[in-house]
Amino acid sequence: MSTPSPGQVIEADSYKPGSTISDWRPEDTGFWESTGRKVANRNLWISIPALMLGFVVWQVWSVTVVKLNDVGFGFSKSQLFWLTAIPGITGGTFRILYTFIGPIFGERKFTAFSTIILVVPMLWLGFALQDTGTPYWELALIAAVCGIGGANFASSMANIGFFFPKKEKGSANGLNGGLGNLGVSIVQLVAPLVITAAVLGPPAGGPQHDSAKNTDVWLQNGAFLWVPLLVIMALMAWFLMNDLKVAAAPFSQQKIIFKRKHNWLMTWLYVGTFGSFIGFAAGLPLLIKDNFQAQGYQATTYAWIGPAIGALTRWLGGSLSDKVGGARVTMLSFVGMAVSLVVVIFALPHSGDQGSFWTFYIGFLCAFFFSGIGNGSTFRQIPVIFRDWHSKGAEGKGPEAQAAALKQSEMEAGAVTGFSSAIAAYGFFFIPAMFANFPVTSALWCFIGFYATCLAVCWWFYARKGAEAPS
C-alpha cells in the first residue's frame, strides 16, 4: 500500500474489524478525524473489558482466601497470605514476556489468545475449591497459573498507546488501564455475592458449609462465573480488533530499551505507583480480617472499594497530566501515598489498643486514590519522554528522519510501558509477602521510605527547572 498524503481520507474498508492496518497516522488531523478516531475507540472499548477480566483472574485469590478456612481447609495465616502473593510472581514474570511477544505476533491475535487461556485456571480453581482435601501445593499451583491473567496488562497497554495521538495518549491509557484495573474491585465485590447461592445451577456443583456464618456457600461460583465471559471477550477481540503494522517489532528491535536510562527510571516510579495499587489490593482483605474482623468489620464488605477508587482515578491522573504535565502529577501521588500510609500506621491496633477501623480504612482509600493518580501520570510521562528525546535527535535532518524518529519513539515507549508494568506487578507478591513475614507497621514504613526515593527521582529528572527530560 502506498502512503497517503497528509489529510487524505482513507477508505473505510482498509480499517475494517479483524484486519491488519498498514497505514496508521494518528498525528495527521485529517486522518484522525475521518478514520482514526473511530477505529482507535473500537479497539479501546474491546481492550478494556478483556483487560478487566485479566485482572479478575489475577486477583480472584485475594477474596477467595478469606473463606478457605471457614469451609474447612485449615491453613495458617502465613499460608493464606502466600496464596494471595503467589499470583504476583507469575503475573510480573509473564508481563515481561507479554511485553515483547504481543508486537511480534500482532496484538489482536495475542489479545484473543491471552484471554481464552484464562479459562483453564478458572475451571481448575472451581473444581479444586469443592474438595477441602485439595492439597496446599495444588492450590499454590493454581494461584500461580491465575497470575498469568495479570500479564495481559503489559501487552494491552503497549498496544493501545499506538492507536492514539500524543494529545490523547494520557486519557486513552488512563481509560484502558484504569477501567481494566477495575477488575480487581469487580471480583472482590461480585465473588462474595455469587458464592452465597447456587446461582450457576447444578452443573457448578454442590455447596460447602461456612462454619463462621453457619450457612452454605458455593465457593466455586467465584471462579466458574467468569468462564463464559472470557470466551465471549476472546471472540470479540479476534473478530473486532485490529493489528497495527506500525506496532509490529521483533525482539531484536525492542531490546534497545534495556540501554535507555529512562526505561529504568520510569520503571522505578511505576513500581511505586502501580506496585502499591496492586499490592494493597491483594493484601487489604486479609489486613481487615486479621485486625478488625473481631470488631465486626467484614473484609468482603469493604475491601473492594479501595481498588475501585484507584482504578477510576487512573483516568483522572492521565487526563490531568495531559493538561499540567505528568511529572508534577506523579510527585503529587507519592506525597499523597506517603501521608496516607502514615495515617494507616497510627490507626492500626497496637499495645492493647484496638485501633480505629475508619481512620485505617479512610487512610487506605486515600492511598488507593493517589496510587491511581500516579498510575495514570507515569504512563503519560513515558511516551512524552521518548518522543521528545528522539525528536531532538532528528532535528534538522529532514521529514524522513523525523518520521523514523517518531516510529522509533512509539516502539520504545510501548516496550517501556510493558516492561515497567511487568516489574511493578511484583508489588502484588512483595507487599502481601511483607505483610505475612514482618509487622505490618514496619512494612508500611518501608513503603514510605521507598516513596521518598521515587519523589527524588521524579523531581530531579522530570519535574525541576532544567530537568533532563521534562514530562
Tally Cβ neighbours within 10 Å of residue 466: 5
Check residue 451 and give its pLDDT. 98
Domain 20-463, CATH 2.30.40.10 — does that match? no
Check residue 272 and give its pLDDT. 96
Residue 420: name the closest of 279, 254, 264 by CA: 264
Check residue 60 and give its pLDDT. 94
C-alpha distances (whole Å) from 394 to each of 137, 387, 398, 399, 404 are 55, 11, 8, 9, 9
Residues 92 and 423 sit within 8 Å (Cβ to Cβ): yes
For the entire predicted model, the pTM comes to 0.82
Check residue 7 and give its pLDDT. 47
| Burial 351-387, CB ≥16 within 10 A → b, else e | eeeeebbeebbebbbbbbbbbbbbbbbbbbbbbbbbb
DSSP 8-class letter at 145 = H
| Burial 99-118, CB ≥16 within 10 A → b, else e | bbbbbeebbbebbbebbbbb
The DSSP H or E segment spanning 244 is strand 243-244
Residue 292: name the closest of 18, 1, 66 by CA: 66
DSSP 8-class letter at 49 = H
Q: How far apart are CA 157 and CA 422, in angstroms?
A: 11
Residue ranges per structural domain of the chain? 20-463
Residues of the chain short of pLDDT 50, as ranges, are 1-3, 5-12
Phi, psi dihedrals of residue 438, rounded to the nearest 5°: -135, 160
Cell of 85: 502473593
Amino acid (one-letter) located at 284: L
Cell of 447: 513503603
